[in-house]
Amino acid sequence: MLMLMARLRRYLPQAFAVLSVCLPARAQVYSPVVLREGQADSTDLRRLAQGIYLEAGAHTARQKAEAIWRFFLTDGRFVKPGFWYHIAGWAYEEPRGEVLDPLKLLNSYGFGLCYHVAPLLAAVFDAGGFQDSRVWFLTGHTVAEVFYDAAYHYYDSDMMGYSTLGSGAPAESVVASVRQIERDGSIITSRLKSPEVNPTLVDYPWYSADVREAAIGDLAELFTTTQDNCLYAGRRYSEGHSMSFVLRRGERMIRYFHPEEKGLYYLPYKLAGKEWSEFPQEISQYAIRTNDGPRSQKDARSWATGRIEYEPDLAADSPGQLIIEMPSPYVIIDAWADVDAELNSMADTISAETSVDGGRSWQVAGNISGPHSGPWKAEAQCLARSAHGRRTAVSGYYGYLLRLTRKGNARLNHLRIVTRFELNPRTLPELQPGENRLVYSAGPPERRTEWNISLASLDPSETESQNIEYIDEGGQGFLRPKKPYDAALLFRISSRDGTPLSGFHAGGRFLDIRNELAPDKFTAEVRKTAHAPLESGVRSAALEWSVSQTGPFVSLWTYEPEPKWLDGERIDRLLRWPEVDRTVPELPAGTRAIWVRYRLRGIALDGVRLSYWQHCDDIAPLEITQVWSEGGQRRFHTEEIEAGQHATAYRVVTGGAEAIRNEAVILTCPRSVPVARATPCSTTPAPPADHP
């Protein structure tokens, strides 16, 4: 076998480059979660599914499937708090394209189209204990199925409906599958009692918009025109992301219930060729205006924003170069550093740079030279401006490095790093009038690092093999074997500071391209390609790992071209683009490096997901501050969590009569344990401005 091994320093600088975080993170708080009692936990798919079941009182498989379907209905009239809503163009991240990771969709977004919510439904079905789920592409619409009672059943949260077989009451009838509707479109059309829906035959809501538009026949035709219906042969969603995070001494996370200021949101940009342009499009027919941001066109539901503020202890600082890691579990909007500095002469300088690829490349954020005394702001570089916003060097990522380089006698007196991000406010603990019981829990004491790997930057001239090439196709890139025999990518994973690894995650999207069909990252649908891997008589792929560069390698996954569906029915209209994710939760004690290998033959690869985590020992106390207003008066409640306390419950009491407005939830890891408490208002940020 020919091995393709990415040169370490160029492609995995997080693993190999001699970069150190100069300010060590001592006591820390690990992945704190705060919820109202009974609220579903969106940071973990299994806990989310169990929370949905509990809220719905679901016990049977049918009840559980329906509970998940109903939770994600796009119209907030049918389920509170209206977790998901329908909007085009806002859940997109370069270079991968339309977001298909369920944790990103749940926590950073909370909105999207059918090709977002169908994989999300499948992910929650799987996490909720169902034996199987799958996703169909119907050319113009994407839907999910779940397997229970020895059959597949179709549920559609995007268009708000499902149909049952026969003419009995819906609760007592079998939910139809896609294949059954393909063969008999009347399963859908017979639910009408022209021109309205027959309420005795459907579970409300039932394709509300289609009924209003007299388009139920068109909906049925999506299924019955079978030649362009395709089934994803593998899993459609990815699982590389985690909502785990760490708060260091002097760091806090502020999550608002509304946009912090007018017009603040993550604005996706796309790169098709050499030019960057806004991804959301104005659609006058549906009153979609980009300058409104990603808000619902049906009601008042909106996105929200937040920020991470970190003030490192500069007592541990040393002259020269300072590198600080700034991870975020949420998609980043922008970032900056507020610096208080002393530069006495022109020879004294400070430069600020950011990196989103672990230090392989850097973008200038600002430079200053003396004489200067006092504040200075270095902002992540603006890479593109357009009518409705800008793209910065950190926009659309989930972490970055900040590097401050000092020359001469330049001195840092104080440093505050601010990262602003987008979030789904329906994941936050929303207070209600009266007594509220809140539940706190912490994650395991570990620090997780995700790598940002661009396949387009893998240079074959700097590898041990020439057998892999990158195909661009106008921003729709993937790797493929250059010649019709085996090829492989080998990555070495180790921490930046050389400390042992506790576990790792590896994954990617593999492409078995048939009939010239490849995934379209701009639409999450299908496109034509003329660059399928060369035929070799064999189509194979594997994901493997080892504690040694030379092996032996342990198999994590092996490609099977022909899936085995649980109902025994063979389907030949397949899109063989499996999303593969594997986790090794524990490694042998003292493991400081592991090797992950991607093997390909006749198969392409258009994404790599790698992350690792390390066990940590130091644990710090936490302050949780809930901010709200009643009758125009601002109120707050601060709860202190002792270091090492993994779970607790507490009460927050609001006025019983006045309507309240939730403003923010603040998680603070104090720099030191205070002898006497300061007035909480002095450390509580101003509430966000009302969204227009």
CATH code at position 608: 2.60.120
Listed residue (104, 415, 457, 424) closest to 295, CA to CA: 424
* In a shared domain, residues 15 and 91: no
Residue with the two structure tokens 């929200």:
304
pLDDT for the residue 119: 98
* In a shared domain, residues 134 and 12: no
* In a shared domain, residues 13 and 71: no
**Considering the chain, what percentage of its residues have pLDDT values greater than 70?**
90
Q: Is 550 exposed, middle or buried (0-12, 13-18, 19+ CB in 10 A)?
A: exposed
- Evaluate whether residue 226 is within a structural domain: yes
Q: Regarding predicted confidence, which is higher, 485 or 14?
A: 485
pLDDT for the residue 6: 38
* In a shared domain, residues 106 and 9: no
* In a shared domain, residues 495 and 560: yes
The domain boundary residue, chosen from 571, 596, 615: 615
pLDDT for the residue 273: 80
* pLDDT exceeds 60 at position 259: yes
- Evaluate whether residue 150 is within a structural domain: yes
CATH code at position 58: 3.10.620
Give the mean model confidence (pLDDT) for residues 66-82: 93
- Evaluate whether residue 344 is within a structural domain: no
* pLDDT exceeds 50 at position 619: yes
Contacts of 453 (CB under 8 A, 6+ apart): 11, 12, 357, 608, 610
- Evaluate whether residue 138 is within a structural domain: yes
* pLDDT exceeds 70 at position 469: yes
Q: Is 74 exposed, middle or buried (0-12, 13-18, 19+ CB in 10 A)?
A: buried
pLDDT for the residue 25: 52
The domain boundary residue, chosen from 615, 635, 660: 615
- Evaluate whether residue 303 is within a structural domain: no
pLDDT for the residue 319: 65
Give the mean model confidence (pLDDT) for residues 17-38: 69
Locate 374 and state its tokens.
């006092």
* pLDDT exceeds 90 at position 534: no
- Render 395-408 in DSSP notation, one character per residue: TT-SEEEEEEEEET
**Assessment of whether the complete model's pTM goes beyond 0.85:** yes
Instruction: Provide the pLDDT confidence category of residue 191 given band limits of 50, 70 and 90.
Output: very high
Give the mean model confidence (pLDDT) for residues 170-177: 96
Instruction: Provide the pLDDT confidence category of residue 673 given band limits of 50, 70 and 90.
Output: low
Residue-wise pLDDT for 329-376, tens only, equals 999 999 999 999 999 999 999 999 999 988 889 999 999 999 999 999
- Evaluate whether residue 463 is within a structural domain: yes
- Render 532-571 in DSSP notation, one character per residue: PPPP-S--EEEEEEESSTT-PPEEEEE--SS---TT----
Listed residue (418, 400, 287, 411) closest to 348, CA to CA: 411
Residue-wise pLDDT for 379-423, tens only, equals 999 999 999 999 999 999 999 999 999 999 999 999 999 999 999
pLDDT for the residue 605: 95
Listed residue (220, 105, 227, 157) closest to 524, CA to CA: 105
Instruction: Provide the pLDDT confidence category of residue 87 given band limits of 50, 70 and 90.
Output: very high
* pLDDT exceeds 50 at position 1: no
Give the mean model confidence (pLDDT) for residues 637-649: 95
* In a shared domain, residues 13 and 147: no
* In a shared domain, residues 14 and 132: no
Instruction: Provide the pLDDT confidence category of residue 213 given band limits of 50, 70 and 90.
Output: confident
Q: Regarding predicted confidence, which is higher, 475 or 402?
A: 402
* In a shared domain, residues 19 and 135: no
Q: How far apart are alpha carbons 45 and 38 in whole angstroms?
A: 15
Listed residue (534, 540, 509) closest to 607, CA to CA: 509
Cβ(605)–Cβ(467) under 8 Å? no
The mean pLDDT of the chain is 89
664 three-state secondary structure: strand
- Residue 482 has, within 13 A of its CA and on its CB side, a CA count of 11
Amino acid residing at 83: F
The domain boundary residue, chosen from 591, 615, 639: 615
* In a shared domain, residues 16 and 69: no
Listed residue (195, 40, 198) closest to 124, CA to CA: 40
Residue-wise pLDDT for 276-324, tens only, equals 999 998 877 666 788 899 999 889 999 999 999 999 988 655 568 899 9
Question: Can you point out the beta strands (E) in 114-195?
Answer: 132-137, 142-148, 151-155, 192-193
pLDDT for the residue 658: 72
Q: Where are the alpha helices (DSSP H) in 142-298?
A: 178-183, 186-189, 208-212, 216-224
Please give the distance of CA 545 from its chain centroid, rounded to a whole number.
25
pLDDT for the residue 46: 97
* pLDDT exceeds 70 at position 22: no
* In a shared domain, residues 20 and 137: no
Instruction: Provide the pLDDT confidence category of residue 468 given band limits of 50, 70 and 90.
Output: confident
By residue range, what is the domain housing residue 212?
Answer: 38-232
Cα distances (angstroms) measured from residue 514 to each of 136, 467, 487, 562: 17, 21, 20, 13
* In a shared domain, residues 11 and 130: no
- Evaluate whether residue 435 is within a structural domain: no
State how many domains the chain has: 2
* In a shared domain, residues 17 and 153: no
* pLDDT exceeds 90 at position 84: yes
Give the mean model confidence (pLDDT) for residues 110-139: 97
- Evaluate whether residue 161 is within a structural domain: yes
* pLDDT exceeds 60 at position 2: no
